[in-house]
Amino acid sequence: MSGYGDLLRTRGVARIIAAQLTARFPSGMLSLAYLMHVEGIFDSYGAAGLVLAATSVGQAVAGPLTSRWMGIWGMRPVISLTIAVCASSMAAIAFVPMELWGYMVVGLVGGLAYPPIQPAVRTIYPKMVTSRQLTPLFAIDASAQEIIWIAGPVMTTFVATQVSTVAAIVLAGAFLLGGGLWFLASPELGRVRIPRSRRSFGVVLKRPPVLLATVVGFLLIASCAAIEAAVVANFGKEGIEAGLVLAIWAIGSLAGGLGFGHVPIGPWALARRMSVVFIGGAAAMFFLDFWGLAITLLIAGAGIAPALAVMFAIVSVSVKFSDTAEAYGWVGTGQLIGAALGSAAAGFLIDGFGASGGFAAGAVFAFVGMVIAIMFKRAHPDLRGRDASPLPDTEPVSLPVS
């Protein structure tokens, strides 16, 4: 753990981790907040799932595109514009009564404008630390992301059940605006410039590690989102049991992320970590009481942050620096779509089969992710003895003829 202390004392590292974490907190809040808010209006988890699906379509289109724009217009202009539009869409869903199609349209716009903070910060990281420190930094970042995906819903559940779903959406908007301004003020955004990529849009997905991380990341976060919805449905909208169980889940993920952060990443690393998520998630279907879910989700959580850290590392080592923002944009898009569609799938299954249906959806997503990681092991770089720095950008140099 002393290595993490040294890393966090590196100039600017702790500050930018905290800023981007705050700005990205809505990623772990909006799916559940929208699910509970729209379900309360239309009395249907299925209707809420349609709004989440529309939001995910917008995120799918915008994620890699806005990330690529940062190499053209710069990080600050792109992030500023998207924050403004996204915050406006959140306010409309919270305060403006609409028909279902209206909520879907506004959700679509919000998804299209979701700020590309995740690809921005992961592009900046290699310029802030040494190559030896990069893999542990990805482990810390993955653990921080689990605060977003798991602790975020804890906060959302508490505010939505104890105050209102409108207050939960407003809180997410406050994190977006406050954290976004903090991140934009970070001097690293001025020191690091993303080079304009010379490759066509989407070509980066031809890199097998990028595609592997995008697909497995989608399935992992879909599993998390489905389980979150199932936990809420299992304990109902009253009381704090759901929030406590999700908090225990977060503790498991944080412990796993920090505990495995220095373990060398071999070609089986992603499959092993996904198997832990699947085992814990599958067991949750059969233990629906408080302590049963607390223990099974503690196990599942221990694989989440380590799996994400592996994905970040294999993407970084496989692409050129000019392509890192777009690559992480695709990975982030997969995760955001997973969050929305995982909640949507769980919502329909909860309507039909109760909370067990939601846990089953989470287990299936994790199982498919594990199988894909096994089947495509050859696409997984072996980082044992290597650093996770991006490939340098090179171009032809004219030499004088003697």
Q: What is the pLDDT of residues 227-236, one digit of tens each?
A: 988 888 888 7
Q: Which two tokens stand for residue 32?
A: 């559940």
> What pLDDT digit, counting tens, does each position of 251-307 carry?
888 788 777 766 777 888 889 899 999 999 999 988 888 899 999 999 998 888 888
Residue 393: pLDDT over 60: no
> What pLDDT digit, counting tens, does each position of 355-373 carry?
888 999 999 999 999 999 9
The answer as to whether 157 is a domain residue is: yes
> Which pLDDT score is estimated for 282?
92
> Which pLDDT score is estimated for 398?
40
Higher pLDDT, 283 or 384: 283
CATH number, domain with residue 90: 1.20.1250.20
> Which pLDDT score is estimated for 120?
82
Average pLDDT, the chain: 82
Per DSSP, 12 falls in state T
Higher pLDDT, 322 or 398: 322
Mean pLDDT confidence for 127-131: 73
Domain containing 79 equals 11-191+201-379
The answer as to whether 372 is a domain residue is: yes
Residue 146: pLDDT over 70: no
> What pLDDT digit, counting tens, does each position of 206-222 carry?
788 888 888 999 999 89
| Chain centroid, CA 6 distance in Å | 26
Residue whose token pair is 């059940």: 161
pLDDT classification of 395: cutoffs 50, 70, 90: very low
What backbone torsions phi and psi does residue 10 show, to the nearest 5 degrees? -65, 140
The answer as to whether 387 is a domain residue is: no
The answer as to whether 113 is a domain residue is: yes
pTM over 0.75, yes/no: no
pLDDT classification of 397: cutoffs 50, 70, 90: very low
CA nearest to 271, candidates 224, 216, 320: 216
Q: Could you tell me the end-to-end alpha-carbon distance of the chain, in angstroms, rounded to an integer?
A: 56
The answer as to whether 392 is a domain residue is: no
Mean pLDDT confidence for 223-248: 81
> What pLDDT digit, counting tens, does each position of 75-120 carry?
888 999 999 999 999 999 999 999 999 999 999 999 899 888 877 8
The answer as to whether 364 is a domain residue is: yes
Residue whose token pair is 């249906």: 357
Higher pLDDT, 55 or 336: 55
Can you name the residues that pair with 320 across neighbouring β-strands?
391
> Which pLDDT score is estimated for 94?
93
pLDDT classification of 322: cutoffs 50, 70, 90: low
Q: Are 63 and 210 a contacting pair, CB within 8 Å? A: no
Residue 396: pLDDT over 50: no
Residue whose token pair is 């066509």: 200
Higher pLDDT, 339 or 218: 218
> Which pLDDT score is estimated for 400?
43
* 362/265 Cα distance (integer angstroms): 25
The answer as to whether 219 is a domain residue is: yes
Can you name the residues that pair with 391 across neighbouring β-strands?
320
DSSP H or E run through 61 = helix 45-73
> Which pLDDT score is estimated for 394?
52
> Which pLDDT score is estimated for 389?
55
> Domain count of the chain?
1
> What pLDDT digit, counting tens, does each position of 163-175 carry?
899 999 999 999 9
* 149/145 Cα distance (integer angstroms): 6
Higher pLDDT, 320 or 347: 347
The answer as to whether 5 is a domain residue is: no
Higher pLDDT, 201 or 97: 97
> What pLDDT digit, counting tens, does each position of 293-315 carry?
999 999 998 888 888 888 878 88
* 157/262 Cα distance (integer angstroms): 33
